[in-house]
Amino acid sequence: MGEFHTMNTEFTIQQLDTNHRDAYYALRLEGLEMHPQAFATSAEEWRAAPQSKIDALLLASEKNIEPILGVFTSNSELVGTATLIPETRQAVRHKASLAALYVPSAWRHKGLGTQLITEALNRARRLPDLTFIRLVVDSENPDAVRLFEKLGFHFYGREPQARRVGDRYYDQSYMLCFLHDQVS
């Protein structure tokens, strides 16, 4: 897919398939455990998911239905993921969602999230009739918000108390990025 270097480390972005099951399962579980407020799926739900559900996600990626992009080190370690989810229903086929972005803390601030999102945007621009990508972000995550803004995403809404983890509620913000120049 693509190679890039940062801080003397070489990385590649690949589309995940069923051969990546163990690495994807473990990385996603880590994200759900470390940042439960950032995801709609809980760590408990992910642990309880049958292997067939994980395989179905990876098969959808493999078939390019809902591609899961992964960043790998030169040692083949998976250190980041993002999922592009194009809508399939006719009335909303012009939209896609960016979901499940996660880079472990040890790998943050090295450009990996930027590369994942940029690759997702590039892929989306090649899909026919797609006009924008939307996403949901934890409103209290300023690093993520800044990253999305830097890459062209704009706010279009905020939902108070959108997610609950234990006894605490978290707001979520809605952002979108138009894929082509907008004509007024």
In a domain, 183, yes or no: no
In a domain, 184, yes or no: no
The whole-number pLDDT of residue 184 equals: 46
The whole-number pLDDT of residue 8 equals: 59
Range of the domain at 45: 2-178
Mean pLDDT in consecutive groups of 10 residues from the start of the chain, 184 residues: 61 96 97 94 96 96 96 95 95 95 94 96 92 95 95 97 94 96 56
In a domain, 65, yes or no: yes
Q: Supply the CATH number for residue 28's domain.
A: 3.40.630.30
The whole-number pLDDT of residue 128 equals: 83
The whole-number pLDDT of residue 47 equals: 97
Alpha helices in 63-137 (DSSP H): 112-125
In a domain, 146, yes or no: yes
Percent of the chain scoring above 70 in pLDDT: 94
CB 14 within 8 A of CB 23: no
Give the count of domains, the chain: 1
**Closest by CA position to 86, among listed 64, 107, 53:** 64
Q: Report the distance separating Cα 3 and Cα 80, nearest Å.
A: 14
3-state secondary structure (DSSP) of residue 144: helix
Which 8-state DSSP code applies to residue 130?
-
In a domain, 33, yes or no: yes
In a domain, 61, yes or no: yes
